Amino acid sequence: MGERATMTAWRACFFLTLALAAAVYAGSLDGGWVWDDPVLVSGEAIGGGRSVVECLARPFLGSYFRPLVSLTFFAERRLFGESPAGYRLVNLALHVGATACTMGLALAALRRRAAAIVAGLLFAVQPAQVGAVAWIGGLTDGLAAFWTAAWAGLLVAGVRRASAPRAARVPDRSSADGSALAMHAGAVACYTAMVLSKEQMAAALPLVPFAWHAFRPAGRRSLSDAAFGTLPYLAATAVFAAMWWFVARPPAMGPPVHLPGPAVLAGQSVAYYALMLAAPAPRWMHTLSEGFARGAPLGWAALGWTVAAGSALLWLRWLRRWREGAWLLAFVWLSLLPVLNVVALPYVLLAPYRAACGGVAFAVLAAGGLGRLRGRARARLCLRRAAGRRVRAVVATVLVVWWGALTAWGATRWRSEEAWFGEVVRHDPQSVVARYMLARTHLMEGRWAEGAALLEEVLDYLLGRGAWRLPDRAASAVRDPVVVSRIQRSRGFPEDPRAFSTQVLTLVGWARLQLGEWREAAQSYRAALAVTPGHAAARVGLEAAEARREAP
């Protein structure tokens, strides 16, 4: 095939991959608001959302500093108002852009067009991206994934360009050096945008000096070049950290008390994210707690640490034999490191969308691995070149079909709160957040009995079956260290257990009041007042329930 025909085929595959990236999310575009969407769109969660200054000078969701995300929501609010479709289209456009950048990264790192197309296909349909694309609130991860792919692609291309032998450069060496410098400048800009979108990705900083080792020939590696090239990234990270401290002051987080051990929770987290990326399934796509490990917590932790140890050994092996693969493997785990629950995170312990940025590197690594698989299969099975290509094509096709079907189905789950949280309750029954949010959805729709039943299941799990129905036992339960640990783990971070318990008890009372069950309503309100004496809503609700009970 001639060069012109090759380029035509490459462009066709490139644009078909982008079309696939958009097509798999078609089922989510007509969805509504889910989870945090209302407070993000209204501006409440982005510092008020009334001006650009507030987006830059106020915390995001109370604890984070994500000004680029706040500014994007601010602009979307001006453009789309109360129409969810516009917000969802922006997320989809970011995903299509991230897919293009992922192919650029694969082309720069692996230097094979076929591998770049495979990487793009895998990323386009990757189930780990569903929450970042199909959920409006997933803009944080979608934006971060876009900038992550752009940064990594420019960084690798810049390092390769600067280290290319003179014969491979354009005749004008100053032009070649200038293009490498422009790539590095663009990479620094994208890195800055990446950390301003999600602080998690500041952990990728060590990849910068490592790139000089991984993508430069042995004779052209220079410690001084790597150090000098890393300085702008260090400066950007320092400025970001100072601004975060000044604007939001990161919460002093630690593992919730009375855990079986941070090492156990971290091991379970490693196992979860490894499965989410390498063996996605509906269960992992709808998990928000460590409930999947309840039956064998130490077994799941051991699996996670086995995966971590295996990855470390593989990294050491690839460091000698496949440096590009070693860099990509480090990319995957460094991007996941901040969400492995070594330090507690606000809101939920686990979430599939937190793997979105790591999914960029995983897609490229998988594409490169398929290329090596083809070579090994040919060598061991004495296959011809055409047969080796078929091996890669079959494996890649199976992955794309499998992941694509999961992604197309999973995207439709984000169309409504009932669909999403209903699926989480089904696959992750221990998720208190999912049961609580699904119950709130039922209550807002006037489905009082269903909402009350879900909330009572939450109380049975947190405070002990039936204990919350008696005020004295409810008040003592929230002081029990085991119950405190249970509440904190279910919420994902240390907090006063009385606040959440009182909130749930008050909602149960309200639901029972609407059902005309005055005695049960009064019972819930009394328990809420025992947990938090003087709680205004509980006091008013109790007075209403007592008045109805005494009415003839």
Number of neighbouring beta carbons within 10 Å of residue 485 = 17
3-class SS of residue 60: strand
Which H/E stretch holds residue 45? none
94 falls within a domain: yes
**Local structure of residue 170 (DSSP, 8 states):** -
Q: Are residues 353 and 454 in the same domain?
A: no
Which H/E stretch holds residue 211? helix 207-214
**Local structure of residue 137 (DSSP, 8 states):** G
Tokens of 284: 């992992």
Q: How far is CA 93 from the centre of its chain?
A: 18
Tokens of 27: 């089922």
pLDDT given for residue 416 in this prediction: 93
Q: Which residues pair with 101 in a beta bridge?
A: none
Which H/E stretch holds residue 309? helix 297-321
**For residue 90, what are the CA distances in angstroms to 29, 61, 552?**
10, 21, 57
pTM above 0.75, yes or no: yes
Q: What is the dihedral of CA 205, 207, 209, 211, to 10 degrees?
A: -150
- Number of C-alpha atoms within 13 angstroms, CB side, residue 164? 18
73 falls within a domain: yes
Please say which residue of 365, 397, 418 terminates a domain: 418
Q: Are residues 206 and 277 in the same domain?
A: yes
Number of domains observed in the structure of the chain: 2
Q: Are residues 363 and 411 in the same domain?
A: yes
| C-alpha span between 127 and 138 (Å, rounded) | 14
Q: Are residues 358 and 449 in the same domain?
A: no
228 falls within a domain: yes
| C-alpha span between 55 and 53 (Å, rounded) | 5
* Angle at which helices 385-413 and 113-124 cross, to 10°: 20
Find, among 412, 279, 414, 404, the residue nearest to 24 by Cα. 404
User: Which CATH number do you get for residue 492?
Assistant: 1.25.40.10
Q: What does the pLDDT profile of the chain (552 residues) look like in tens digits? A: 567 777 888 899 999 999 999 999 999 999 999 988 898 888 887 777 778 888 888 888 777 888 999 999 999 998 998 899 999 999 999 999 999 999 999 999 999 999 999 999 999 999 999 999 999 999 999 999 999 999 999 999 998 887 665 444 444 445 556 788 889 899 999 999 999 999 889 999 999 999 988 888 765 666 777 888 899 999 999 999 888 888 776 554 444 444 557 788 899 999 999 999 999 999 999 999 888 888 888 999 999 999 999 999 999 999 999 999 999 999 999 999 999 987 766 667 889 999 999 999 999 999 999 887 755 555 555 555 556 577 778 888 999 999 999 999 999 999 999 999 999 999 998 888 899 999 999 999 999 999 999 999 999 888 888 878 888 888 888 888 877 777 777 665 566 778 888 999 999 999 999 998 888 888 999 999 998 998 899 899 888 888 877 665
Task: Confirm if 31 and 84 have CB atoms less than 8 A apart.
Answer: yes
Q: Give φ, ψ of 172 to 5 degrees.
A: -85, 105
Q: Are residues 326 and 449 in the same domain?
A: no
Q: Are residues 309 and 224 in the same domain?
A: yes
Tokens of 492: 């994902």
254 falls within a domain: no
Q: Are residues 444 and 353 in the same domain?
A: no
DSSP 437-466: HHHHHHHHTT-HHHHHHHHHHHHHHHH-TT
Tokens of 315: 């990294």
3-class SS of residue 64: strand
| C-alpha span between 467 and 473 (Å, rounded) | 6
Q: Are residues 413 and 451 in the same domain?
A: no
Task: Confirm if 546 and 513 have CB atoms less than 8 A apart.
Answer: no
Please say which residue of 367, 386, 418 terminates a domain: 418
Q: Are residues 235 and 347 in the same domain?
A: yes
Tokens of 84: 């969810």
Task: Confirm if 524 and 505 have CB atoms less than 8 A apart.
Answer: yes
381 falls within a domain: yes
146 falls within a domain: yes
Q: Are residues 466 and 374 in the same domain?
A: no
3-class SS of residue 62: coil
What domain range includes position 183? 13-249+259-418
pLDDT given for residue 258 in this prediction: 44
Q: Are residues 369 and 477 in the same domain?
A: no
Q: Which amino acid is present at 94?
A: L
pLDDT given for residue 393 in this prediction: 81
pLDDT given for residue 239 in this prediction: 92
4 falls within a domain: no
| C-alpha span between 155 and 382 (Å, rounded) | 38
Tokens of 479: 């002081």
Q: Are residues 443 and 406 in the same domain?
A: no
pLDDT given for residue 257 in this prediction: 45
| C-alpha span between 59 and 306 (Å, rounded) | 38
| C-alpha span between 517 and 445 (Å, rounded) | 19
8 falls within a domain: no
Task: Confirm if 504 and 452 have CB atoms less than 8 A apart.
Answer: no
| C-alpha span between 23 and 175 (Å, rounded) | 40
Helices marked H in 347-470: 356-381, 385-413, 417-427, 432-444, 448-463
Please say which residue of 418, 444, 474 terminates a domain: 418
**Local structure of residue 169 (DSSP, 8 states):** S
3-class SS of residue 51: coil
Task: Confirm if 334 and 203 have CB atoms less than 8 A apart.
Answer: yes
